[in-house]
Amino acid sequence: MQQRLQQQQTWKVVVRVLIVLLIIVAMAGSVLLGALTQSYGLEPAASTSLAAPSSASLAPSTSLRPDMRPQDRIDGRSASEYRSSTDDIPDVQAQFAGLSTSDGRVLFERDADVAVPMASTTKMMTAIVALESTPLDTMMKVTLGAANTPGTEAGLEEGMMVSLHDLLYCLLVPSGNDAAVVIAENLSGYESRFVELMNEKAALLGMSSTHYADSSGLSDEDHYSTVRDYLKLAQYCMKNPVFREVVGTRHKELTIDGVLFEFESTSQLWDVLDGAEVTGIKTGFIEESGYCFVGSAVKNGIELYSVTFRGTDGIERFEDAAELLEWGFRHYRTIELVNPYQLVGTVALTSWIDKTVSAFAPSAVRVQVFDLNGPIAQEVSLSDIEGSVVQGQECGSIIWLQRGEVLATSPVVVSESVGAPGFFDGIGIGWSRFWGGFFGDAPHAVGSIALKSVVEVPAAAPATLPDQARAA
C-alpha cells in the first residue's frame, strides 16, 4: 500500500514538471513568433476574443463632434474658449444663427451681424405693426392684387371681408403672402406706405441693420436683416399675447365669408424638439435667403429664442432650432443662491461682551445662470452693531458674481431684537472690560460668516448623441 502511494506521488511530480515545460515552450514560441512578425512585417491574425470592447472603442467618433466654426461665439466669447472644457457645443448647419434669452442675453451666435434676406420671417413685423395700430375686429377687404400675390398663400379670394384677427392666422400659420398684402393695403392704402411703418418700427426696436421692402418677404433687393436684429424682434413680438397665441398655433380652422379654411403651420419644430413647449414662431424661404426660421420654446419657466438664416434644407432648419434650444435649456437654468432659512452668519453686538445675533437673507434669491461660465463667487459683508437691534434690521449684504459680472445682490438682516445694555449692565460690562484689558480679552464677541465663498453651479444633464431617426 505504501509503495503504491509513493508511485502516485512520483507520477504527480512528473505531470507537474511536464506542464511547466509545456508552458515554457509555449512562451518561447510566442516570443519567437513576435520577433519573426516584427522582422518580416507580418500582420498578426485578428483576435477572436469575446471580451467587452474598451471604453475607447465606445467613444463617439470625431465625425460626431459639433460643427464649430471660427466665427461662433458663446455668451459673447469665442466658442473655442469653451471647447477646452466641453464638447457640448451647438451643432448647427445654418450659415447664420443665434440663440437668446427672453431678456436679450445672446447665448450663441454665428455671424449674427451679417445682413441677409430674411424671407417670410418678415411677416413677424407685418403682424406686430398691425396689432399695435388696429383693433382685432377691424374688417378688411381682399383686393384682386392681394388675392393674386405670388408665393405661399392662405387662399383668400377677391372681395372677401376678413377681420384682422383672422388675417393674422392667415398670415402667420400658413404664411399667406396674400394676407400680408391685405393687411398692408387696408391699413395704409398702399403696401409701400405700410412698409414705411415697418421700417419705423424696426428703428424704434434698435434693429439698426434691418430694412424692409415689402410686407411678405418676397423681395430680396433692399430687403434684409441680421440674426441679432431678429432676436430683438422675437423678444419684442412675444410680449404681445395675441401674437403669442397665433404663432403658437399648429392647426387652425376659420370660417371666412362662409368658406371653411383649414390651416397647418409651416413650422415643424413640434416634431423635432424634445422636452420643451413650442411657442412659435415663423418660417421663411426664397431662393436668395435659403431656409430661414425663428423658433421659440419654454422649459421650466425659461423662454428661449432661436434664429437661423440661410439654411440648406427645409427640415434641417427645424433641427438646427431644436439643437440650439435644447442646448440652451441644458445650460441656462434657474438656481437658488440663498433662502431665508439659510444662516448667512452672525453679527456681534458691540455694546455687549458676549452677544451675537444670527443673520439671514430676508427672502430667497433665484437667478438664471449659464453653467458653462463656471462657479459663482459669493461675497458676504456683515457689520457689527452698536446699541440695540431690531429684528429685520439690515446688517450687511451679499453679492454674487460669475466671471466678474454681478448676477444678484441681497441685503442681510438680523433674526431677533436685542436691547442695548441698561445702566447697571453697562457698569458691569465696563468693569469686565477694564479687568479684561489686562489679560488681552476681546471687548466684545466676534461675528462670523457661515456661507461659502463659492456657489457651485449644478452640472448640466449630459447631451444625448444625435438622434439618427430624427434626422431621417
pLDDT at 426 over 90: no
387 lies in a domain?
yes
Query: Distance of CA 146 to CAs 40, 156, 178, 194, 195, Å?
Result: 81, 8, 5, 14, 15
Residue 8 to residue 20: CA distance in whole angstroms: 19
pLDDT (0 to 100) of residue 383: 96
pLDDT (0 to 100) of residue 43: 34
Domain that holds residue 433: 339-455
pLDDT, tens digit, 9 for 90 and up, residues 203-245:
999 999 999 999 999 987 899 999 999 999 999 999 999 999 9
If one compares 298 and 443, the residue with the highest pLDDT of the two is 298
If one compares 325 and 60, the residue with the highest pLDDT of the two is 325
Calculate mean pLDDT across residues 242-270: 97
Cα 226 from chain centre = 20
Bond preceding residue 281 cis, omega within 30 of 0: yes
Buried b (16+ CB within 10 A) or exposed e, 256-273: beeeebebebbbbbeebb
| Together in a domain, 278 and 375 | no
pLDDT, tens digit, 9 for 90 and up, residues 123-168:
999 999 999 999 999 999 999 999 999 999 999 999 999 999 999 9
221 lies in a domain?
yes
| Together in a domain, 278 and 146 | yes
SS3 185: helix
pLDDT, tens digit, 9 for 90 and up, residues 4-31:
435 545 555 554 555 545 555 555 554 4
Query: Distance of CA 254 to CAs 153, 156, 216, 320, Å?
Result: 15, 12, 21, 31
If one compares 56 and 419, the residue with the highest pLDDT of the two is 419
Calculate mean pLDDT across residues 366-393: 95
| Together in a domain, 343 and 277 | no
pLDDT (0 to 100) of residue 68: 85
Examine the fold and report which residue of 293, 314, 334 is the final residue of a domain before the chain moves on.
Answer: 334
Residue 370 to residue 460: CA distance in whole angstroms: 10
| Together in a domain, 314 and 172 | yes
| Together in a domain, 312 and 391 | no
Beta-carbon-side half-sphere exposure of residue 465 (alpha carbons within 13 Å) = 9
If one compares 83 and 58, the residue with the highest pLDDT of the two is 83
pLDDT level of residue 108 (50, 70, 90 thresholds)? very high
139 lies in a domain?
yes
pLDDT at 424 over 90: no
Q: What angle do CA 315, 321, 324 make, to 5 degrees?
A: 140
Buried b (16+ CB within 10 A) or exposed e, 191-222: beebbebbbebbeebebebbebbbbbbbbbee
What is the tally of structural domains in the chain? 2
Calculate mean pLDDT across residues 47-63: 32
| Together in a domain, 312 and 418 | no
Calculate mean pLDDT across residues 261-268: 97
| Together in a domain, 443 and 353 | yes
304 lies in a domain?
yes
Residue 399 burial (CB count, 10 A): 14
Calculate mean pLDDT across residues 283-310: 97
| Together in a domain, 359 and 210 | no
pLDDT (0 to 100) of residue 48: 28
| Together in a domain, 157 and 174 | yes
Single-letter residue type at 85: S
pLDDT at 437 over 60: yes
81 lies in a domain?
no
pLDDT, tens digit, 9 for 90 and up, residues 309-340:
999 899 999 999 999 999 999 999 999 999 99
Yes or no: say if 311 and 334 are a contact pair by the CB < 8 Å rule: no
| Together in a domain, 160 and 303 | yes
Beta-carbon-side half-sphere exposure of residue 211 (alpha carbons within 13 Å) = 9
53 lies in a domain?
no
**Active-site residues: which are they?**
120, 123, 175
7 lies in a domain?
no
330 lies in a domain?
yes
Calculate mean pLDDT across residues 265-275: 96
If one compares 395 and 13, the residue with the highest pLDDT of the two is 395
pLDDT (0 to 100) of residue 18: 57
| Together in a domain, 295 and 312 | yes
| Together in a domain, 360 and 423 | yes
Yes or no: say if 317 and 292 are a contact pair by the CB < 8 Å rule: yes
The CATH number linked to 202 is: 3.40.710.10
Tell me the pLDDT of the chain averaged across its residues.
86
pLDDT (0 to 100) of residue 50: 28
If one compares 24 and 185, the residue with the highest pLDDT of the two is 185
